[in-house]
Amino acid sequence: MSIDYSQKIPNNVNLNDNKTLQRALEHWQPEFINWWKDMGPDDSQAFDVYLRTAVSVDPAGWAHFDYVKMPDYRWGIFLNPAEEGRKVNFGAHKGEAAWQEVPGEYRSNLRRLIVTQGDTEPASVEQQRHLGLTCPSLYDMRNLFQVNVEEGRHLWAMVYLLHAYFGRDGREEAEALLERRSGDADNPRILGAFNERTPDWLSFFMFTYFTDRDGKYQLCSLAESGFDPLARTCKFMLTEEAHHMFVGESGVGRVIQRTLDVMNQLKSAA
C-alpha cells in the first residue's frame, strides 16, 4: 500500500517491472509539466505552497503535508490494493471474476469512459487558473492549489490506464488530453460544463459544490467497474475528491453566512 517515491514517477503499481510502460509514461511526463507551466495556476509557479501529497493508499494514514513549488509536486500513479476474488457485481457478467485486462467487446466503451473522465481533470485546472490572482484569503488560495494539483494527479491516474491497457490508441488519447483546452473554439474539452468560464470565487465554490459532487458519483460508479484496474484507481481518487467537495460546501456556506451578517448590519429586508 506504500508508494515508491524513489522512481521518477511515484507509483505503487511496480512500474519499474514494466520498462516499456515506464518509458512511455516518462516520455509523457515532460509534456504534462509543460502543460502545467502553460495552463496551471497563473503567476504562481515559484510559490512555496503547503500541499498534501499521498504517501500511501491506506486510509488510516495516507497523506503527507509540506511546502513545495507546484511544478515540483510529485504527481504519480496510485491504486487501491487488489481485492482477492473480486467479482463483477452487476450486469450480464455478474458473478464472473473481475477483468484484469480489457475485454475486446468493451474496449471502445471503456476507453471512452476513461478518456472522458481524464479530460475533466486538466479542464478544471484550466478553468480555475486565474483565480489565484483574486484570492480572498491565504486559506482559500491553499485550498485552490490543493484542488489543482490533485486534479493533475487524477489526470495521471487515467493516463496510466490508457498507456497500460490500450496500446497505441491509449498513448494517442493520452497525448490528446494535453492538447485540448477548456473553452477553445477549435479544440475544446469533451464535456460542455468544462468549457464554461470560472471567472470568480463564487463560481468556483459553486463548481466544487455541484460539479465535483456530480464527479463524485461518476467516480463511485467507475469504482464498481468490472474492469478491476479502473475500479481500484477510482477508489483512491475518491479519497482525494472528498476535499474538493469540502472546499465547495464550506465556501458556499461562508458566502451565505457573510451575506446574512451584512444584511443584519444594514438591517436589510430578506
Cβ-proximal residues to 105 (8 Å cutoff; 6+ apart), any chain: none
Question: Does any domain span residue 197?
Answer: yes
Question: Does any domain span residue 122?
Answer: yes
Predicted pLDDT of residue 4: 86
- 145: how many CB neighbours lie within 10 A of its CB? 23
| CATH code, domain with 107 | 1.10.620.20
Question: Does any domain span residue 70?
Answer: no
Question: Does any domain span residue 44?
Answer: no
DSSP 187: S
In tens, the pLDDT along 28-66 reads: 999 999 999 999 999 998 999 999 998 888 776 788 899
Question: Does any domain span residue 78?
Answer: no
Question: Does any domain span residue 64?
Answer: no
pLDDT 10s digit of each residue in the chain, 270 long?
Answer: 678 899 999 999 999 999 999 999 999 999 999 999 999 999 998 999 999 998 888 776 788 899 999 999 999 999 999 999 999 999 999 999 999 999 999 999 999 999 999 999 999 999 999 999 999 999 999 999 999 999 999 999 999 999 999 999 999 999 999 999 999 999 999 999 999 999 999 999 999 999 888 888 999 999 999 999 999 999 999 988 888 999 999 999 999 999 999 999 998 865
How many distinct structural domains can be found in the chain? 1
Predicted pLDDT of residue 269: 66
Question: Does any domain span residue 109?
Answer: yes
Cell of 229: 484496474
Cell of 223: 469504482
Over the range 185-216, which residues count as b (16 or more CB within 10 Å of their CB) and which as e? eeebbbeebbbbebeebeebbbbbbebbeebb
Cβ-proximal residues to 155 (8 Å cutoff; 6+ apart), any chain: 32, 118, 121, 122, 177
Strands (E) across the chain are located at 48-54, 63-69
* Enclosing domain of residue 208: 85-266
CA end-to-end span of the chain: 53
* pTM to 2 decimal places: 0.93
Predicted pLDDT of residue 57: 82
Q: Which of 264, 237, 105, 126 is nearest to 188 (CA)?
A: 126
- Residue 102 C-alpha from the chain's centroid: 22
In tens, the pLDDT along 251-265 reads: 999 999 999 999 999
Question: Does any domain span residue 158?
Answer: yes
Cβ-proximal residues to 2 (8 Å cutoff; 6+ apart), any chain: 12, 55, 56, 58
> CB of 58 within 8 A of CB of 79?
no
Give CA–CA dist 41/23, Å, rounded. Answer: 28
Give CA–CA dist 245/214, Å, rounded. Answer: 10
Q: Which of 35, 78, 38, 36 is nearest to 55 (CA)?
A: 78
